[in-house]
Structure 1
Amino acid sequence: MTFQWTAVALFLYGEVGVILIFCIPFISPSRWKKIFRYQLWSKISSYWNKAFLSIIVILIVLFLDAVREVRKYSVNSEVDKSAKLYASTYDHLHMKLFRAQRNLYISGFSLFLWLVLRRVTNLIVQLATETESCDALKAQVEKNNEAAKKYMEDNEHLKKVLDSSKANDKEQKLKRENETLQHEIEKGKEELRRMAESLSKSQAEVLALKKQSEGLTREYDRLITEHELLQNTILEQDSKKEQ
């Protein structure tokens, strides 16, 4: 294996390792978000998009080169087999075909996992943000509930004072205060309703993000299984051809 394909293979192993680390269940999205906010990542983030696009271009070039090599040696293998050349020459071409196919799989899966890794990272950050928003909304709703209870208690107290009061001026003043408090209570109830709707919407978005993340994990497992099946099929074909 040449240096470039060795580097691509190591890059593929690194991608698999990072995705497995992201799948660790006891590390929450909020903790991942805190890790992404470290000073080191903030320095790298300015170059992240350029590096991401550069790696995609390199992987696409290597993938196309591997496709070209596979097509090249597939045609040469069929021609040499039909021409009945020496067995060593045929085995040499067959070995080159196998290497080209191996390079094709390595570059293809590296490109795919690079895109998956970018998507998983974005989903983790979005999930952590939505979780923080839900916590903030819950705290605000609890605060509004306490304020509403306080307004209700004040309202009851004012009603009692209003019943026991005999002076018209004081009675009118208390009525105005009562109306003001009722208006504030209605406003607080309306705000509570809006907060509850926002909380329900955020929870639905969080559930959707969780389902999407689980779908990506299942898709990754399926692709790994298909990759292993393809490798086993190629090995079986190679062993049959050698026999």
Structure 2
Amino acid sequence: MTIYYTTTFFILVIEMIVFCILVLPLPSRWRRALFKFASTSPLVGKALNTLRIIFGFIFVLFIDAVNRLQRIEEGEENHNHDYGYEVGLKARKFYAQRNLYLTGFTLFLSLILERTSSLIIQMLKREEELEYAKEEHVSTTQDQERLENMEATYKNKIAALKLEVDELRKQEKDMENLKKQVEQQSEEYSQLVNRHEALQQRAKESKKDI
């Protein structure tokens, strides 16, 4: 196997390992930390750009393997039952098919990895949004409970103040009644004083006449 097909095989093995890591039932915290590191690390970004270039070369190898396989199949139709030539042709066909499957599976798995990673990233974003919505709901519920408690407290205070106002109104009425009684008694006292003075004046006049 030539060096570029050996490299393609190692890339395929790495893709299989990465795919197994992606589908492992890891905790959300670990998965989120892993994808955060992969999305923010400059080394990972450079590695992905390099892999895109390598996948371009692998695609060229895939096209070359398809062309070779077609030429070999055409050669099978035109051979003259030369067993040595036929054995060599079968070997070339085997290597061409191997290279075709190797490059094809590598490209196909790269597409699957890209789609799987994008789906996992979307899933993690939805989980974060769900957690944020739950926190917002909890805080909103707490705020609502606090407002309800404050409203109940204010209602109790208002009821107590209304009772105090009613008591003050009753006291005010009692004070008005008491004031009226005092005024009446004061008028009666004034009348009694006037009568007493009049009687004293009459008594003095009667003494003078005697």
Structure 1 and Structure 2 fold alike (TM over 0.5): yes
Larger deviation, residues 94-103 vs 53-62? 53-62
- Are 1:91 and 2:90 matched, yes or no? no
CA distance in 1, matches of 2:127, 2:15: 26
Instruction: State the identity as a percent.
Output: 25
Shift of 1:12: 1.1
Shift of 1:7: 1.3
Residue 17 of structure 1: aligned partner: 17
Shift of 1:52: 4.2
Residue 241 of structure 1: aligned partner: none
Residue 171 of structure 1: aligned partner: none
**Structure of greater relative contact order (alpha carbons < 8 Å, 6+ residues apart):** 2
CA distance in 2, matches of 1:11, 1:108: 12
CA distance in 1, matches of 2:65, 2:29: 40
Shift of 1:28: 2.8
Task: Pick one of 122, 127, 147 that aligns with 1:126.
Answer: 122
CA deviations on 1:153-191 (whole Å, 9 max, x unpaired) are 1111212222232459xxxxxxxxxxxxxxxxxxxxxxx
Shift of 1:60: 1.2
* Secondary structure in 2 matching 1:165: helix
CA distance in 2, matches of 1:39, 1:137: 26
Residue 152 of structure 1: aligned partner: 148
CA distance in 2, matches of 1:6, 1:143: 57
CA distance in 2, matches of 1:154, 1:41: 46
CA deviations on 1:126-176 (whole Å, 9 max, x unpaired) are 2222212211211121111011011111111212222232459xxxxxxxx
CA deviations on 1:25-81 (whole Å, 9 max, x unpaired) are 1x134412312333996122443553243133112101100001100111111111x
CA deviations on 1:217-241 (whole Å, 9 max, x unpaired) are xxxxxxxxxxxxxxxxxxxxxxxxx
What letter matches 1:146 in structure 2? Q
Paired residues of 1:29 and 1:124 also in contact (CA < 8 A): no
Paired residues of 1:8 and 1:107 also in contact (CA < 8 A): yes
Paired residues of 2:61 and 2:103 also in contact (CA < 8 A): yes
Q: Which has the larger radius of gyration?
A: 2
* Secondary structure in 2 matching 1:37: helix
Query: In 2 relative to 1, CA 3–131 (structure 1 residues): closer, same or farther, beyond 3 Å?
Result: same
What letter matches 2:6 in structure 1? T
What letter matches 1:35 in structure 2? L
Residue 63 of structure 1: aligned partner: 62
CA distance in 2, matches of 1:118, 1:52: 12
* Secondary structure in 1 matching 2:41: helix
What letter matches 2:102 in structure 1? I
Q: Summarize the alignment of residues 134-145 of structure 1 with structure 2, pairs less than 5 Å apart.
A: 134-145=130-141
The TM-score normalised by the length of structure 1 is 0.61
The TM-score normalised by the length of structure 2 is 0.70
Residue 30 of structure 2: aligned partner: 31
CA distance in 2, matches of 1:134, 1:159: 37
Query: In 2 relative to 1, CA 128–109 (structure 1 residues): closer, same or farther, beyond 3 Å?
Result: same
Number of aligned residue pairs: give it: 164
Paired residues of 1:70 and 1:100 also in contact (CA < 8 A): yes
Query: In 2 relative to 1, CA 48–3 (structure 1 residues): closer, same or farther, beyond 3 Å?
Result: closer
Task: Pick one of 104, 118, 134 that aligns with 2:100.
Answer: 104
Paired residues of 1:29 and 1:125 also in contact (CA < 8 A): no
Unaligned stretches of 5+ in structure 2?
A: 167-210
CA distance in 2, matches of 1:113, 1:67: 18
Paired residues of 2:68 and 2:96 also in contact (CA < 8 A): yes
Shift of 1:20: 1.2
What letter matches 2:147 in structure 1? Y
